[in-house]
Structure 1
Amino acid sequence: MIAKEFRMIRQISGVSLIGLTLSLSTPAQAGTISGPADLGTAVSAQIACAGIFVTGRAEADVLRDDVHALAPFTKAVTLSVDRKDRIVTASAPGAATRTALYRSGAGCTLLTDTVRREVLESQTAKLKPMKMRPSTPWPMGDARATSPGPKIDAAALEKAVNDAFVEQNKDGYPDTRAIVVVQGGRIVAEQYAPGFDQNSRLLGWSASKSIAGTLVGLLVDDGVLKLDAPAPVPEWQAKGDPRRAITLRQLLTMSSGLRFVESYEPGNDSIRMLFSAPDMAALAASLPLDKAPGSAWSYSSGTTNILSAIVTRATGGSLDEVTRFARKRLFEPAGMTSIVVEPDEAGVPVGSSYAYATARDWARFGLLYLNNGVTGKKRVLSRSWVDFVRTPTKAAPRPVYGGQFWLNLGDDEGDKRRIFRDLPRDTFMAMGHNHQIVAVVPSRDAVIVRLGWTPEGQTFDFNKYLSRILAALAPPTTQP
């Protein structure tokens, strides 16, 4: 049952590319996805650009361990890197050549040849990277970050973490790339694959959705947005448009009723949005209703990008302004100074998929929620918002999803209906493709981060590895 459930979660929690094969079709123009080969060059340009310019890895390592390992239809891709012009171009036989542009402070953006380069550069002209604070004590900085507690079984914890590397990383391939375990506010375990360290920014894929949702939460806390008011989406405001009834709550809980095909096959909404659309939120917002708002649950990356556009408009309408808002209100107060959420050509952060941060910063994000919205002595999020994201949406057939977070609650049929049977019921998670997870476990006062690049057709057993880690931690001091 758990394996079956996880296959379902894998398909809908990130970019699922299983089942596609390389096609030697006539090359298409940039922005057109006519088959798997075109998809291969598009996704390869995006992730390779970030791997090289955002994470700072060697081109050969990115090509071998990220691009060629991603899916069968990326194995024929070759890369061309222009470091002076900050672009990465991906090519393959029979495929459209695709290019991604790196901009300091914003990361990489896949180009569709519909927006001029000077316009893209103007979006980030004022953006500068955030300043790291390595000498500041954890969690705001990295000084004295690791300190195992006295009640932890140190040997068992070391083995549990190490197993997640040794058992996964065969023949030198860095499948598991980073694990950070926090308990009692301290880092109690931390490990990296060769070639990665505490300064490596790693992709969260759909774990990014939880960050996008949190930015909405800040505006809800401010009173700028209201959960149960109609969502402020310009495309839906015409008189008689049934989408005018969609609320912000319904967008956050994936129960808007909007049509969005999440399966990642050429021609589907997800592919058109991520790899063909210069304005991803506009494409998602243009889609019609499939169901009455609030009546059904359907996982949708398009929904999250609509939310990202709402945040962008509410904070001034530009990439510079939304980035400054995110930094001032979330990233800097939480100590997340490495994070970059890459934008589309319209200057809207791609909240569904493209957040890069160090493993420690992903852990800081989890710690913010573990501490009910407080970091240090500063309240960043309201307690009511934290409660909201952990509350299951009534539209879902099972209690697996809240407000842009996954939930591990069981139901009347028992604990086997949980996503991860051996993790506590109160666990809630940001999860993404290639088996990324930020697991927040209040009953154990713990956060567990696993970041990696598990290839298509393989798996990382969250239930096994995370339950082993939890078993080695200090026991709970209070009832959950």
Structure 2
Amino acid sequence: MYTNFVASRACYRTITIKFEVLSLPKRRYALAISVSAVLTLFVCSGFLLYQPLMVASGFTSHQICSETFVSGLKPDQVYADMVEPTGAIRFISSLVHYDVDFEKREVTTTVGGLYKTKAVYGEGMGCLLAHGPEDVQLAANANLKVGPSASLAPEIAESGVVEPGSEQLRAALDRAFAEREQAPYIRTQAIVVVKDGKIAAERYAPGIGADTPLLGFSATKSVTNALIGILVRQGKLNVSESAPIAAWQNVSDPRHAITIDDLLRQTSGLALEQTSSGFDPASRMIYLERDMSGFAEGAKLVTAPGSRWAYTDGNYILLSRIIRDAVGGRASDVRGFAQRELFGPIGMKHVTLEFDATGTPNGANSMFASARDWARFGLLYLNDGMAGADRILPKGWVEYSSSQTLDTGYGAGFWINLAASGNAPYGLPWGMPHVPQDAFFAMGNMGQHIVIVPSEHLVVVRLGVSHHPDGLIAGADRLVADVIAALRHVEVGPR
């Protein structure tokens, strides 16, 4: 934060100079005050832009690091497809410079030669933004990689890619993979269709396969929902009780009234606004703070808990901290718990859950899994929280998670297929009008969708890096509707 301090001092000094010129001779006064005004605008604008430019730099470092060293994609392609078209970065792209060190597995970014950030890869923990040399060493010493474990759930396919069983189903995938001739692009990376527990069709973009871990962005929140559910099943948490955040335990603190249910449903009332502008508290939390949950727990209340819905990563960072504390307090404890209780039992084989430097998982927007693994996760909810004959989630948890919050199209970690007043965040529609109403789904930025349709015994996964509506919820609506129509005319393979 030294750059921030220097900028603020420089801004103060420039304003001081502006007043000092009042003592100059009249002949020099006009020129001096004009120069001073320009300096004030330039320096103070830099101060005000410090946070969003650091966010842009941090986003670039982190995404290129993760997509390169977790997903195995090419850095320049990641920048072109994912980073450059995002928000205001496209307007400052000529100032953004990133350097990838393949030997150290680090990515360093600057904006106009300033606002330097570094993301470093740690074995099994993905990439984290390093806020000092100790964080670089932390990543270098990380060893969160876990071995395979026995699955309790039936396998969904053989090793080979499953081709569509009909021309109509093939056409549905063709349509979803069709690309625009000019930006903004759709960039579909993977689609997996699971009908009656078996893959009916799948397709991958060049350079991506059935085992490639892909970022779910905010679909990660639904995984956090599952980890909370497991702790509820084990009797370690109760969603209706006050959230076990140490800073809120004094009953005189109004935040003491916030429950785990409020956090899951995005109704905590905390001042953690998320606009993805770079100026917002949620952006600061993810890209500038070493201790994300420490920042989030310091937020003040702006509305009574449970009274207003406001989508923010902050609520799920706090849930992530609750999970961490409940299972042992360290990143290794979280990774072991998730593997033992969730990923292993349901057969997820290629998963990377990322952490901050304090060991709190980023359960808001930073888990990677293969498209098949995301489909296996969807099946857990399609099957009412069961993996084969074993219960993973508490009885009734799926119904709870997909029940409506206030008058929104949101449940408790999942989106639901109900029309609601107003719009969801970022101007998106609430649901999928051409898909059965009982559908619910995990959804992430740039078009990540894990759609569960109980009435059709169906899970559809669509992953990509989209910046056009045809790759976002409107595209998912069309894809799932096309798949349902096609599957009514085809038999899925042997079970």
TM-score, normalised relative to structure 1: 0.84
CA contact (8 A) 2:87 2:277 kept: no
1:444–1:475 CA contact under 8 A, matched in 2: no
Equivalent in the alignment of 2:83? 67
Q: Give 1:113 deviation, angstroms.
A: 2.4
- 1:406 aligns with one of 412, 415, 436: 415
Greater relative CO (CA pairs within 8 A, separation 6+): 1
| Structure 2: runs of 5+ lacking an equivalent | 1-41, 423-428
Question: Partner residue of 2:309?
Answer: 297
- Compare 55-64 and 195-204 and name the one that shifted more: 55-64
SS of 2:344's partner is: helix
Distance 1:174 1:59, change over 3 A: farther
* Residue matched to 2:168: 156
Alpha-carbon distance in structure 1 between the residues aligned to 2:49 and 2:287: 8
What is the match of residue 404 of structure 2?
392
Residue of structure 1 in register with 2:110 after alignment: 91
Match for 1:235: what amino acid?
A
Q: Distance in 2 between matches of 1:401 and 1:345?
A: 31
Aligned to 1:38, the other structure's residue is in SS state helix
What is residue 220 of structure 2 aligned with on the other side?
A: 208
Deviation at residue 129 of structure 1 after TM alignment: 4.0
* 1:456/1:410 CA distance change after superposition, 3 Å: closer
The equivalences for 1:1-400 within 5 A come to 34=50, 36-73=52-89, 75-76=93-94, 77-93=96-112, 95-113=114-132, 115-122=134-141, 124-125=142-143, 127-131=144-148, 138-139=155-156, 142-143=158-159, 146=162, 154-168=166-180, 175-393=187-405, 396-398=406-408, 400=409
SS at match of 2:115: coil
Q: Answer yes or no: is the 8 Å Cα contact 1:370–1:440 preserved in 2.
A: yes
SS of 2:284's equivalent in the other structure is helix
Instruction: Find the counterpart in structure 2 of residue 421 from structure 1.
Output: 433
Distance 1:169 1:412 in 2: 35
Could you tell me which residue of structure 2 aligns to residue 472 of structure 1?
486
TM-score (norm 2): 0.81
The 1:143/1:200 distance shift into structure 2, 3 A limit, reads: closer
**Is the radius of gyration larger for structure 1 or structure 2?**
2
Deviation by residue 1:336-393 (Cα, 9 ceiling, x = unmatched): 1211111111111101010111100000000111111112232211231111101112
Conserved 8 A contact 1:311-1:322: yes
Taking only aligned residues, the RMSD between alpha carbons, in angstroms, comes to 3.1
- Cα deviation for residue 217 of structure 1 reads 0.5
Task: Provide the rounded CA distance (Å) in 2 between the counterparts of 1:55 and 1:270.
Answer: 25
Unaligned ranges ≥5, structure 1: 1-23
Percent of aligned positions that are identical: 34
| CA deviation profile, 1:237-270 (whole Å, cap 9, x unmatched) | 2341011111111111111121211101233111
Q: Give the C-alpha shift of residue 197 in structure 1.
A: 1.2
* Distance in 1 (alpha carbons) for counterparts of 2:282 and 2:184: 32
Alpha-carbon distance between aligned partners in 2 of 1:389 and 1:111, rounded to the nearest angstrom: 35
